[in-house]
Amino acid sequence: MDLSPVSARPLSLKVESKEDISDSAGNIVAFRLKLCCESDVLKRVRPGHFLQVHINSESRRYFSEYRSGDSYSVLQGSPNRCPEKLEFLGIPLSIYRIHGSGLEPSMLKNRSRDFLPQAFRQRAELEEAKHLELLIGLVGNGTRTLHAVKVGDTVNATGPLGKAIEFPSDFESAILISGGIGIASLYPIAGHLRARGHRVILLAGARDERILQDKEGNTLADFAEIGVQCHVTDEVKEKKLVTQLASEWLGSREYAELAGRSRIYSCGPWPMLREVHKIACKWDLPCTVLVDKMMLCGVGACMSCVVRIRDKTKSSTDTGKECTHMVPSCTEGPAFESSDIVWD
């Protein structure tokens, strides 16, 4: 896979289709947007990339809508917000799926690691790609404005942004752990790993399982279609957090019978990722997390999305303290090894 930095560019994306996602009470809580996009842009998209989607100036979100330390997904309608201060420039959204006329996702369902040479596989999967899909949670003014678009409208964005995930070759199985709409960042990872023939297990959590179902009521149908083994919990029926599900599953016979080395990939709220890191340490599993941070610009200029990481290039023997530094997650991430992050 080519991991060299990609050149982001302004994009005008025509809305091909829109599908609402409702919870058990019938409230629309998320939606899918399928957007037309140039093939040469889609061919450069890799797991870990995202778009910075722009919204009109009348609906931009303001800095005072956010609580200190929270990500963009925790919006608040604060009566004390100051419209004259620091407008948001856009919404960072993971690229959920790429649609083309090449390899169908269902062909990945029973794929082994030596099914196709990598070069041919990439070409087949991205051949004549024409659309990308976004999976978006309704969390505030910006996403609600974006939800108002209709088929045929144009969505303006910049991308692809972010650093592509580098996948090592020293593991057989991948355990994906998602919280809520964080599942949008994990589908590209699942598709890439299934294309390489890895076994992929998804542990998904949400407030309401209905959020993870398609309009026919099939839970995590996109993942099941490519041969991902899915386990789901929610806070309505199961009354269990996904981190509890992960701990239980790792202690099960099913995990004990996995052949070879395993690795964790996770995306969700920051507190969830911190717990996933603790679980990974307990089970001695390497873990990659995709952080959900507030991003003003998406290109590393504003430093609003910084993460404190351990500096492996400097020694702490002289000071007696661990050497750390801040990096923007929009350009150095959003994927990081959980062991590199300073969580406290």
Higher pLDDT, 108 or 17: 17
The Cα 65–Cα 55 span in angstroms is 16
Count of beta carbons in the 10 Å neighbourhood of residue 247 = 17
Is 317's pLDDT higher than 70? no
Encoded tokens for 109: 């369902």
- pLDDT single digits (tens) 181-217: 999 999 999 999 999 999 999 999 998 888 888 878 7
CA-based angle 267:268:269, to the nearest 5? 140
Amino acid at 119: A
Let me know whether 152 and 22 are in one domain. yes
Let me know whether 133 and 206 are in one domain. no
Angle, helix 270-282 to helix 242-250, in steps of 10 degrees:
10
Residue 4 is assigned to a structural domain of this protein: no
- Residues 6+ positions from 17 with CB-CB distance below 8 Å: 32, 33, 34, 151
Residue 318 is assigned to a structural domain of this protein: no
**Count of structural domains, the chain:** 2
Let me know whether 13 and 143 are in one domain. yes
Among residues 110, 137, 161, the one where a domain terminates is: 161
Q: What is the CATH number of the domain that holds 109?
A: 2.40.30.10
Let me know whether 67 and 124 are in one domain. yes
Which contacts (CB < 8 Å, 24+ apart) does range 319-326 have? none
Higher pLDDT, 103 or 228: 228
Let me know whether 21 and 155 are in one domain. yes
- pLDDT single digits (tens) 24-80: 889 999 999 999 998 888 888 999 999 999 876 444 444 444 444 444 333 344 444
- Quote the domain boundaries for residue 67: 9-161
Query: How many Å separate Cα 190 from the centre of its chain?
Result: 11
Let me know whether 79 and 206 are in one domain. no
| pLDDT, position 296 | 76
Q: Where does 43-196 have alpha helices with state H?
A: 118-126, 141-147, 183-195
Among residues 115, 133, 161, the one where a domain terminates is: 161
Higher pLDDT, 32 or 297: 32
Let me know whether 121 and 259 are in one domain. no
Let me know whether 123 and 188 are in one domain. no
Residue 312 is assigned to a structural domain of this protein: no
| 92, containing H or E segment | strand 91-94
Let me know whether 188 and 107 are in one domain. no
Let me know whether 92 and 222 are in one domain. no
Let me know whether 143 and 210 are in one domain. no
| pLDDT, position 314 | 66
Residue 191 burial (10 A CB sphere; 0-12, 13-18, 19+): buried
Let me know whether 58 and 195 are in one domain. no
For residue 176, name the pLDDT band (cuts at 50, 70, 90).
very high
- Dihedrals phi, psi of 208, to nearest 5 degrees: -140, 125
Among residues 98, 127, 161, the one where a domain terminates is: 161
